[in-house]
Structures are given as structure tokens and as C-alpha cells.
Amino acid sequence: MESKKLASFFEEDLCIFGLRSKKKISVLQEMVRHLASVGRISDERFIMEMLKNRESLGSTGLGMGVAFPHGRSLAIKDLTVLFARSANGVEFESQDGEPTNIFFLILAPSDRGADTYLALLSELIGIIQKPKKLESLLAVKDHASLIKILGGEES
């Protein structure tokens, strides 16, 4: 996936640069509420249940301060990615036991677009494995900076 294509998934109204929640479920609720407030989802309760069910299988907190909560459902019309950042970190039951600061919430239709969904996830995981990119993400405070990090040159 080209970096410009990756950056195109991150719309300005789908970013939260100052998460207020401090706990796992409340972070998920804050992100889902945001998606509903900008008209990206219509059934908050359904999406929350889907995300909670996914988390019950194992935390999507991969470590290094990053989590990828995600789900696929027929109730989701279009691939939607929300970026969220918590300055202080959240206890998210991550694999390394450390607080999580960066969240990439990915929701996708279950009946189509699997290739794009997997390519997006793969590209994001590749980015967080680059120390300079991860450090930049942990400090990002606005949409323009996020797009530069995601679409900029290799670090």
C-alpha cells in the first residue's frame, strides 16, 4: 500500500488527539461515541459489543504504547479508521503490560474489502515498528502532523 493511500484513510474528523478516558472500556466508548457524533456509525451499542467481544479473545494492545481495536460486520458500510492519542496512556491490557497511548480503531464491512483491511493493518504495524515513526506518533497533536508521519519518507 502506498503511503499516500494509507494517509487517505485518516480523515480530520476521525482523529482524537486528547483522549480523556483512562480505562479500556471507557476509551472504546469514547472512540465509538466520536464515530457516532460524526455520522460514521449509527448503532453505538452494537459496535461496542462487537469491540468488547473482540477484546475478550485477547487484547488488541500490541505493546509499545499502541493498540489496534478492530472489527468487521455487515452493520459497517465502509472501511473506517479512527486515530486516537492519550498523552498519559491507558491501561489496555497490552501484551507488554505497559500503558497504551496510540489507538487505531479499524471497522470494516465483513462482506467486502478484506484485502484493503488487511493491507491497512499490515502497513500500520510496519510503521509502528520504525522507532522514529512511533516516537512521532506518540507526540502527534494535529491532523496535518499525523498525515505527514503516515505519508512521509521512511525513517
Confidence category of residue 73, pLDDT binned at 50, 70, 90: confident
The predicted structure's pLDDT at residue 155: 38
End-to-end C-alpha distance for the chain, whole angstroms: 17
Mean pLDDT, residues 100-106 taken together: 97
C-alpha to C-alpha distance for 88 and 145, rounded to whole angstroms: 19
Report the pLDDT value the prediction gives residue 17, as an integer from 0 to 100: 97
Q: Are 31 and 105 spatial neighbours (Cβ–Cβ below 8 Å)?
A: yes
Contact 144, 1 (CB under 8 A): no
Contact 107, 75 (CB under 8 A): no
- pLDDT above 60 (res 2): no
pLDDT tens-place string over residues 35-55: 999 999 889 999 999 999 999
3 pLDDT above the threshold of 80: no
Query: Residue by residue, what is the 3-state secondary structure of 98-151?
Result: CCEEEEEEEEEECCCCHHHHHHHHHHHHHHHCCHHHHHHHHHCCCHHHHHHHHH
Identify the weakest region by mean pLDDT among 8-22, 43-57, 69-83, 90-104.
69-83
List, by residue number, the catalytic residues.
70
How many CA atoms within 13 Å lie on the side-chain side of 84? 26
**Mean pLDDT, residues 73-92 taken together:** 92
Residues 116, 122, 123, 124: what is their CA dihedral angle, to the nearest 10 degrees? 110
> What CATH code is assigned to 3-150?
3.40.930.10
Domain boundaries, the chain: 3-150
Q: Is the pLDDT score of 4 beyond 70?
A: no
